[in-house]
Chain A
């Protein structure tokens, strides 16, 4: 979650820097930034560290995002269950023919470990949201430093499987429809399927501030949650935070 949501509120200077969620939160802890964007919730140990530096992280949910699992358009595989994706990334499944594809080795692509997306994918997909599950990424998983790296590799390599935020996936790559369990419906990621909770891999996106925001930071956060800014969020392929959740 780098500079993608980099709108400009009136009269508010905004300078965005990149890096993973860990980088943003580490900068907030060190007191070098006013706002840290993060695609994962702050960890307990990070809160403790911030407090010992005299910084009080406050959480703001600013939008929602789906993680799309992407493959090369030449790959005939269109749908996978969460369990199959978990087995692919943990190394139990190593050939596309095991999930209905061609006889090709699977090349697993992931973001670096400092990416919030990496941690989220580990917890939600590899470990199927189970706290006891200690499944790890297969050791030969390629850890690429940027979304762009993953997209470049998937674009030219029919063996590759990768994942990335829905807003980052270009049109020329194929997204996989995902079923929560075997026999369930296969669902493609989109704003609708994230909001009606049928798509399995979706999460909240956060901004953290030091204490309750004041001054321009407050103005900025108010602007972020305004319909105007949330329209930008939607235009970029993310899911607006303001969308009223469907009645339970």
Chain B
């Protein structure tokens, strides 16, 4: 009797368990697929030419360095914009803004996060890039910086939303304790609330950066897609080609199984490994911070 009552519970538990494991399974399968399609590159293209500075696949130039540096410079630029701006906004919403303001701001920021990136790309082409060309006196407005600005805009809602939740979760007693010790509002935010919410804020930054490096449509529309090695500071203000835009622009055209096809998957693999690295770095920092907190509390 008891068993027959329990069977729905059994099924539901198994279902939930399966969906939990399936996330791991899918990531593993995707990575396996990337490896299978991408690794043949190493046999087909010499590593010397793979790390060359020219990308021109229709003539078999497969140097991925311009694409790698292009993605990095756009992402770093986006991070420099999104992190201070996003965390500042989160602090304002959670710590400073009056309640009515918070109730307007939070949904608005989240709405911004729902903007399709292709729409931002259009704005970039028609408004931002002509403006930047004239304002900064550049040869063209289709630059890494234009991409960084828009990607920063795309990443901000993610950063704000997650960081605000983390700040909000800090117990009120922490702040009251700080005030009782005579700390100003700024000291409380900077020395107490923000460090207490550190792991959540770090997650916010990583999610935001992840969003930026994986973003495709906007960068393809506004960065000019010129595969130039981007290592100088001035590269920020010239056209670059990112890894994502390269895959998106060229994948539809390649003959499957060709060297070009394998190289595109290889780029996908590199992109995957970069995100993995960023995530591992982030969780190890969070983990260390948690251990330290436990040590202090015990």
Contact = CB atoms under 8 A, between A and B. Distances in A.
A142 B54 contact: no
A112 B58 CA distance: 11
A105 B239 CA distance: 14
A29 B250 contact: no
Given A143-B241, A149-B221, A113 B57 contact: yes
Interface stretch (B72-80, B95-103, B138-146, B159-167): B138-146
Contacts of A139: 53-54, 66, 226-228
A129 to B, nearest CB: 17
Interface stretch (A15-23, A59-67, A79-87): A15-23
A156 B225 contact: no
Interface centre among A119, A136, A139 (most CB of B within 10 A): A139
Given A107-B140, A153-B142, A159-B139, A143 B249 contact: yes
Contacts of A136: 54, 56, 59, 61
Contacts of A112: 225, 249-250
A92 B126 CA distance: 30
B274 to A, nearest CB: 23
A157 interface: yes
Contact of A142 (B59, B130, B239): B239
Nearest to B227: A139
Contact of A19 (B59, B224, B253): B253
A152 B126 contact: yes
B61 to A, nearest CB: 8
A26 B140 contact: no
Contact of B226 (A22, A23, A134, A140): A140
B133 interface: yes
Interface in A124-182: 134, 136-137, 139-145, 149, 152-153, 156-157, 159-160
B241 to A, nearest CB: 7
B interface bracket (residues with beta carbon within 8 Å of A): 20 to 34
Contacts of A159: 139-140
B1 interface: no
A145 B225 contact: yes
B20 interface: no
B254 interface: yes
Contacts, number: 87
Contacts of B66: 139
Interface in A94-127: 104-105, 107, 112-114, 119
B220 interface: yes
Contact of B220 (A45, A140, A145, A156): A145
Given A45-B255, A136-B56, A140-B228, A145 B249 contact: yes
A49 interface: yes
A234 interface: no
A156 B133 CA distance: 10
A227 B292 CA distance: 81
Contacts of B126: 152
Contacts of B130: 156-157
A153 B223 CA distance: 12
Interface centre among B66, B130, B227, B253 (most CB of A within 10 A): B253
A42 to B, nearest CB: 12
B250 A142 contact: no
Contacts of A153: 125, 129, 140, 142
B252 interface: yes
Contacts of A114: 249-250, 252-253
B238 interface: yes
Nearest to A48: B255
Interface of A: 19-20, 22-23, 26, 29-30, 45-46, 49, 104-105, 107, 112-114, 119, 134, 136-137, 139-145, 149, 152-153, 156-157, 159-160
6 contacts: A140-B228, A142-B142, A142-B224, A157-B140, A157-B141, A159-B139
Given A46-B255, A143-B241, 15 more contacts: A20-B252, A104-B139, A107-B140, A136-B56, A139-B226, A140-B239, A141-B226, A142-B224, A142-B225, A142-B226, A143-B249, A145-B220, A145-B249, A149-B125, A156-B130
Q: 10 nearest interchain CB pairs?
A: A114-B253, A22-B253, A142-B224, A105-B139, A143-B225, A107-B140, A156-B130, A23-B252, A140-B226, A113-B58
